């Protein structure tokens, strides 16, 4: 699943081509991603609007759209609304792909001829049209690079949690955007076993984990995300963050620190990679 670095990369790479452009046509090839509105009304509601801004919240992309120039069928349609997209397991947003691109779901055509296509082999991705994006993203925890995410804030959110720290890090109400592979990488960098009870972490461990989360995510953004499976950038190229992974998706390979084997276990139904020597329980 695309996590914070992948979604941030997508946002950064499509924004220059989209922001300030007017949506001229929307074609829905598959109704499954469209939530709480018919595909026909979804398309009609978007056409004529200008993309005023594009932002990321956790693993969600939020397109801020202007009021349209004609009557809109959705409630409050005469006002600014937002298009919220979650890519889920295998969704991707591609700029000017081939018209017959495999697994195409929705095509957005802009006034300058630019085409933005949503493709999704597994069909888990979702799109919402809302007046207030908080109805979709309001329960998310702080962003890892926000002022609200501090060592004390992390300690407070871990306090009293009996679940394994790996599972807690995947709770999007705790921290927005961190998913499976970056949780593995952060725990490795902090030398913390993924099955440790979150509440049992010491102050030095929490500080190490805090710094590791920010460092791991920053490095992944610099490398344009990780293409371990389905993720591709808007121009169709892969990201390269996975080339620097120490444990994630490296089961059976040598740990880059101690040369011992990286091990795969399951923590709360999530495949988890760690080094038993560097991350002692």
Catalytic residue set:
2-3, 59, 270
Q: What tokens does 134 get?
A: 């908080």
CA atoms within 13 A on the CB side of 238: 9
Full strand arrangement of the beta sheet holding 92-95? 23-28, 104-110, 115-119, 92-95
DSSP 8-state secondary structure symbol assigned to residue 176: S
Nearest CA to 40 out of 129, 103, 154 is that of 129
Cα(25)–Cα(104) distance, integer angstroms = 15
107 beta partners: 27, 117
Q: What angle do the packed helices 203-222 and 180-189 form, to 10 degrees?
A: 130
Distance of CA 247 to the CA centre of its chain: 20
């Amino acid at each position: 699943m695309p996590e914070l670095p992948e979604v941030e990369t997508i946002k950064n790479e499509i924004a220059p081509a989209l922001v300030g452009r007017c949506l001229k046509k929307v074609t829905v090839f598959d109704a499954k991603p469209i939530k709480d509105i018919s595909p026909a009304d979804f398309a009609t509601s978007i056409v004529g609007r200008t993309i005023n801004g594009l932002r990321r919240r956790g693993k969600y992309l939020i397109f801020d759209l202007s009021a349209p120039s004609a009557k809109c069928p959705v409630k409050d349609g005469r006002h600014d609304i937002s298009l919220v997209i979650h890519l889920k397991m295998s969704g991707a947003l591609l700029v000017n792909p081939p018209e017959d691109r495999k697994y195409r779901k929705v095509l957005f055509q802009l006034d300058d001829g630019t085409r933005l296509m949503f493709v999704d082999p597994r069909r888990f991705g979702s799109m919402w049209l809302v007046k207030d994006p908080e109805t979709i993203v309001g329960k998310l925890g702080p962003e890892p690079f926000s002022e609200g995410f501090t060592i004390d804030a992390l300690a407070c959110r871990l306090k009293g949690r009996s679940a394994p720290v790996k599972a807690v890090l995947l709770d999007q109400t705790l921290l927005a955007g961190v998913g499976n592979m970056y949780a593995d990488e952060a725990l490795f960098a902090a030398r913390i076993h993924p099955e440790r009870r979150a509440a049992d972490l010491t102050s030095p461990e929490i500080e190490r984990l805090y710094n590791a989360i920010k460092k791991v995510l920053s490095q992944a953004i610099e490398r344009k995300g990780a293409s371990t499976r389905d993720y591709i950038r808007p121009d169709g190229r892969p990201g390269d963050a996975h080339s620097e992974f120490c444990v994630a998706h490296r089961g059976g390979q040598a740990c880059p620190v101690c040369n011992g084997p990286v091990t795969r276990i399951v923590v709360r139904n999530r495949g988890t990679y760690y080094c038993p020597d560097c991350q002692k329980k």
